[in-house]
Amino acid sequence: MEFSVGDHVFLKISPPKGSVRLGQKGKLAPRFIGPFEILQKIGPVAYRLALPPSLQGIPNVFHVSNLRKYMPDPTHVIRYEPLQLRKNLTYVEEPIKILGRMEKKLRNRTIPFARVLWKHHQVKHATWEPERVIQEKYPTLFTTDE
């Protein structure tokens, strides 16, 4: 894939391995942020991007495999909510609140699950997680019980 100077692209980021969805790797990943303008082509597979000041600690040269072309659409309004990215382009997933609860009945036991809304995700991407695990990692979510 090739881009030219002035094109807009999305930048691939992903949570660090092991911290995603309490051990469920790959769910809702990879994620892309942007769009960012290409300032310069550096060699056949590297590009320099115009990054916002909130990402100033991150190098601005990326391999073509970390970029995805942005197709401009006048009706598309981009809501940019800055992520707290680390230098290796990873971020930490944090839950916002519990949206619901259910119990999965097995033969000899019942496992409670909680539907968790994650930061930087929409309600439609909320996930069902074992309530015990969520309660151990994030006890503050359960202090204001419904």
Domains of the chain, each with CATH number or no CATH: 1-90 (2.30.30), 95-142 (2.40.50)
Q: Give me the mean pLDDT over the 20-38 stretch.
A: 63
Name the CA dihedral angle for 65, 67, 72, 78, rounded to a multiple of 10 degrees: 140
Structure-model confidence comparison of residues 107 and 28, the more confident one:
107
Structure-model confidence comparison of residues 52 and 88, the more confident one:
52
Reported confidence tier of residue 29, pLDDT bands at 50, 70, 90: low
Query: 86 is written with which tokens?
Result: 């680390």
CA distance 26 to 132: 22
The alpha carbon of residue 98 and the mean position of all alpha carbons in its chain are separated, in whole angstroms, by 19
- Work out the burial of residue 66: count CB atoms within 10 Å of its CB; fewer than 13 is exposed, 13-18 middle, 19 or more buried: middle
3-state helix, strand, coil in the chain (%, to 5): 15, 35, 45
Provide the pLDDT for residue 61: 92
Q: What is the DSSP letter of 133?
A: H
Q: Give me the mean pLDDT over the 83-92 stretch.
A: 74
CA distance 19 to 35: 26
User: Position of tokens 């009706």?
Assistant: 75
Is the peptide bond between 30 and the residue preceding it cis, with omega within 30 degrees of 0?
A: yes
Provide the pLDDT for residue 23: 39
Structure-model confidence comparison of residues 64 and 58, the more confident one:
64
Q: Give me the mean pLDDT over the 18-37 stretch.
A: 60
Q: What is the mean pLDDT of the chain?
A: 80
CA distance 139 to 95: 11
Say if residue 92's pLDDT is above 80.
Answer: no
Provide the pLDDT for residue 88: 77
**Cβ neighbour number for residue 33 with a 10 Å cutoff:** 21
Provide the pLDDT for residue 105: 93
Say if residue 135's pLDDT is above 80.
Answer: yes
